[in-house]
Amino acid sequence: MKDHHASCSCGQLRLVAHGDPVRVSMCHCHACQRRTGSTYGAQARFPTENVEITGVSTEYVRVGESGAAAHFHFCPTCGATVYYWFDDALRAVPVGAFADNTFPPPRISVWEKRMHPWVSVPEGAERLA
């Protein structure tokens, strides 16, 4: 079973996810655009029991465009988001926090009605409005 290591920019908040993600997706909603400062957010989701977290985080809770509450955990020193969750079963990790260019690509693209027209979606990905 492969371990995936993620961290914030300064390294204070770290995460190890054991095994393969159950989902890798990209979200084009306005909230993800604002959170990442980019045109979409890419995240991998892992079963909570497969995730080990070390370091101190600050939590920010917001209600997304879907109506679900998201609990974002970011480093209080550098501000980088390292993980978040919508329910207790899964932990979502921004793909960039892994700093691993061999990480699997998104297989689901959501909130495409908010997608910038010049953004590309990986071939074969499931595409949802």
The DSSP output letter for 95 is G
> Of 89, 21, 85, 81, which is closest to residue 55 (Cα–Cα)?
81
Calpha distance 68→63 (Å, rounded): 5
Question: What local confidence, expressed as pLDDT, does residue 68 receive?
Answer: 83
Averaged pLDDT for residues 6-28: 98
Q: Which residues contact 128 (CB under 8 A, 6 or more apart)?
A: 108, 109, 110, 111, 112
Calpha distance 98→36 (Å, rounded): 15
* Residue-range domains of the chain with CATH: 3-127 (2.170.150.70)
What is the pTM for the complete model shown?
Answer: 0.92
> What digits encode the pLDDT tens for the residues 63-95?
876 788 999 999 999 999 999 999 889 999 999
Question: What local confidence, expressed as pLDDT, does residue 71 receive?
Answer: 96
